Amino acid sequence: MASLGSHEDWQKRFPNAPEPGIDQVAKAFPWVPIGYRETFDAHLTRIEQLLERAPPGWRGLLLNDLQGGPSSCGCGNVQCRWAIDYNVRSTATKLEGDDVAARFVAEVRKRADGRAVIPVWTTECEEVDMPANKNRGRPGTGLCGSVGCATGACPSVFSLQWSALTAGNEGAVGLLSLHTAFQRTQNEFGGGPAWVTNSIAYLNQTIPAHGGKTIPSDRLWVVVEGFHSAEEATARALAAKVGVGAIIVARTKIDQSYEPRVISTK
């Protein structure tokens, strides 16, 4: 499972969770990312098993949550996905490089028999999530606790991973824009169904600023929530206005939550 990194802000969200002791680490249960050799292979095996049960005439696959587990640096933000075992001991064989997801998608394509394979990506934290003392005194969502990496490591590593994912991929790429699941509900900070525009803007602004290349808007598929008709309509209208290639409405929960579990690293 993915570890919660060395920052301790996640503990504020789980005040009753035990604090990791010596030779222990907190895990973001039940997240099992492909960033470990053992789970990379296990997920491929799982996909092979699912494909054996696929109905005739299936046209493609959507691969969701390819990044690490939520709050991966320990900040508490469920969108924090760039780090795995951030300054804490690994309990599995960690894969190196920014192209792990790209390699995984390539392996799935070998098993898809020429059908479409569309990775679905999650954006990282935003400047409005940083604490006021690290964001020129401005108030914010508080999603990143005391950590101010929205202008540091997060966008840089995100851009490297995104660039590796899209470099050899001419097809569509999905963007998970679930405002409720990602706790983007504070209207005063751009939350609610209109947050879909923030997630798209994150790509268009962050990636070029860190030396990467965006993809044409018609290759971007956006996933929005469909639990409330008015919010769904707003999200769909705003995404369509941007000109994305497709809008997928999730009418069942795509869970992004976790619970901490402390395990031994021995």
pLDDT in tens, the chain (266 residues): 999 999 999 999 999 999 999 999 999 999 999 999 999 999 999 999 999 999 999 999 999 998 989 999 999 999 999 989 999 999 999 999 999 999 999 999 999 999 999 999 999 999 999 999 999 999 999 999 999 989 989 999 999 999 999 997 789 999 999 999 999 999 999 999 999 999 999 999 999 999 998 999 999 999 999 999 999 999 999 999 999 999 999 999 999 999 999 999 98
> Residue 145: its pLDDT value, please?
94
Nearest-angstrom CA–CA distance, 193 and 236 = 9
- The strand order across the sheet containing 246-250 reads 60-64, 116-121, 173-176, 220-225, 246-250
Q: Are strands 116-121 and 173-176 parallel, antiparallel or unpaired?
A: parallel
> Residue 149: its pLDDT value, please?
87
CB-facing half-sphere around the CA of 15: CA atoms within 13 A: 1
Nearest-angstrom CA–CA distance, 198 and 222 = 12
> Residue 170: its pLDDT value, please?
82
Each residue's pLDDT tens digit, 159-174:
999 999 999 778 999 9
Nearest-angstrom CA–CA distance, 196 and 181 = 12
- Residue 224 DSSP SS3: strand
> Residue 57: its pLDDT value, please?
92
> Residue 88: its pLDDT value, please?
94
Residue 104: closest CA among 87, 91, 120: 120
pTM: 0.93
Q: For the chain, which residues make up each domain, given as ranges?
A: 10-264
For residue 64, the surrounding DSSP H or E stretch is: strand 60-64
> Residue 130: its pLDDT value, please?
94
